[in-house]
Amino acid sequence: MSKIDIQPALLIETNNQLFDMISDLRNLSMVSVDTESNSLFEYQEKICLIQFSSNKQDYIVDTIKLRDISSLNEIFSSTKIEKVFHAAEYDLMCLKRDYHFEFNNIFDTMIASRILGFKSVGLSSLLNEFFHVDVEKKYQRANWGKRPLSEEMITYAQMDTHFLIEIRKILYKKLKEQQKWDLAVEDFNRLTFIEAFVNNKNNDHYWRIIKGNILTSQQENVLIELFFLRESLAEQSNRPPFKVFGNQTILELAKKMPKNESQLENIVGLSPKLIQKYGEKIIKTILIGSTKGTNIKKEKNRPDARFLQKYDALKQWRKRKAIELDVESDIILPKEHMEQLAHLKRSEILDVQKIMDNIPYRFERFGQEILSVLGEIDSI
């Protein structure tokens, strides 16, 4: 990290300290926010720190030591206090998951950077571009649930919010100059409705491993059984599943279906220690999967030809528009809206407006063009 002279952050570890911090923040019009979690170290990830910065002071809230931080909802839900994040989506999902906070008035510096057409939108890139600050990256994968925190870790966490308000001011000016502010506000508002993070919500993450691989029905059943074995072992040992054994190991086990522990030695990713610890369970699980009589693979509805025509036409229009405005394609029209529009049987402006109800600026700016694109396919 480049040498910079900044005031040390206040570490918030007691209820009284939390009360004092909130008393300060509630009178501000803007604060920056970030979180640190321990997803690389525990089965059930949790937020370990929440960082706040004002123009005068940086705070680090220790959520491991503080059992009740519900009073922070006053700050997060306030419509008067703007909360500045960088890449807010996952932070908001986790804050909603762990604490059920409500959110209003968000500014996301990564979204703003993308709308402005920046080629590099990571926080480290913005810090370097605007302030010539290079951030030490070795704590990106740190165990934030471990206590005590080192002084270097505290400084690293502080840096994630310290400059955000100034970055926000620069980006706001550019958004206004390029007449993209309304577009940005639309995406900031959409963030507030994001749902809480739920790990493996549909209990089917195994499809991420299956996808793109040619497997027999028997091999798929074995893979699914192995996936749930790994989940069980990870939960019992309170470790992330990938630290038990990886997806490629599950895939290779499903393809080769070893019948004894000696055959497990040929599987990449299974050390002698793992074989000794889990070998018997793995073999038993493979046997269970291989003897299943039916394949439980989901039946996916195949899109019809008209949908594909409309989707491709919208995709090509979006690409041309993105080049014209020098932004990424999804800035013009989010994928989920494009899919819903392509499903329209007959294209009417009221139907387009209904689908684009939560992106009214885009409807106002692009609605007629989108209707025209869809109408060309309808006329074929």
The Cα 34–Cα 28 span in angstroms is 17
Q: What pLDDT does residue 347 have? A: 87
Stretch 114-136: mean pLDDT: 93
Q: What pLDDT does residue 198 have? A: 78
pLDDT band (50, 70, 90) for residue 2: very low
Topology adopted by domain 206-290? DNA polymerase; domain 1 (1.10.150)
The Cα 74–Cα 89 span in angstroms is 20
Long-range Cβ contacts of 227-233 (<8 Å, 24+ apart)? 229/281, 229/282, 229/285, 231/200, 233/278, 233/281
Residues 6+ apart with CB under 8 A from 205: 227
pLDDT band (50, 70, 90) for residue 297: low
CA-nearest of 372, 271, 245, 286 to 321 is 372
pLDDT band (50, 70, 90) for residue 335: very high
Q: What is the DSSP string of 80-142?
A: SSEEEESSHHHHHHHHHHHH-----SEEEHHHHHHHTT-S--SHHHHHHHHH------TTTT-
Other residues' Cβ atoms within 10 Å of the Cβ of residue 262: 10
pLDDT band (50, 70, 90) for residue 135: confident
The Cα 358–Cα 193 span in angstroms is 10
Stretch 204-210: mean pLDDT: 86
Q: What pLDDT does residue 181 have? A: 97
Q: Edge to edge, what strands does the sheet with 106-108 contain?
A: 10-12, 58-62, 47-53, 30-37, 82-85, 106-108
Q: For a pLDDT cut of 70, what percent of the chain falls above it?
A: 95
Indicate the pTM of the whole model: 0.90
Q: Is the pLDDT of residue 13 over 60?
A: yes
Question: Quick one: CA torsion of 346, 358, 316, 212, rounded to 10 degrees?
Answer: -100
Stretch 80-99: mean pLDDT: 97
Q: At what angle do helices 217-237 and 247-256 cross, to 10 degrees?
A: 140
Q: What pLDDT does residue 346 have? A: 86
Topology adopted by domain 305-378? DNA polymerase; domain 1 (1.10.150)
Q: Is the pLDDT of residue 295 over 80?
A: no
Helix (H, G, I), strand (E, B) or coil at 279: helix
Answer CATH for 10-191 from 3.40.50.300, 3.40.50.720, 3.30.420.10, 2.60.40.1180: 3.30.420.10
Q: Is the pLDDT of residue 1 over 60?
A: no
Amino acid identity, position 120: S
252, 280 Cβ separation under 8 angstroms: no
Q: Which of 149-158, 194-203, 221-230, 294-303 has the lowest mean pLDDT?
A: 294-303
Q: Do domains 10-191 and 206-290 have the same CATH topology?
A: no
The Cα 65–Cα 69 span in angstroms is 10
> Domain-by-domain residue ranges, the chain?
10-191, 206-290, 305-378
Q: What pLDDT does residue 136 have? A: 76
Q: Is the pLDDT of residue 302 over 80?
A: no
Q: Is the pLDDT of residue 215 over 60?
A: yes
Q: What angle do CA 295, 300, 305 make, to 5 degrees?
A: 145
84, 32 Cβ separation under 8 angstroms: yes
57, 12 Cβ separation under 8 angstroms: no
Helix (H, G, I), strand (E, B) or coil at 310: helix
The Cα 108–Cα 190 span in angstroms is 11
CA-nearest of 64, 81, 62 to 24 is 81
The Cα 119–Cα 123 span in angstroms is 12
The Cα 92–Cα 183 span in angstroms is 20
Q: Which of 91-95, 279-283, 315-319, 376-380 has the lowest mean pLDDT?
A: 376-380
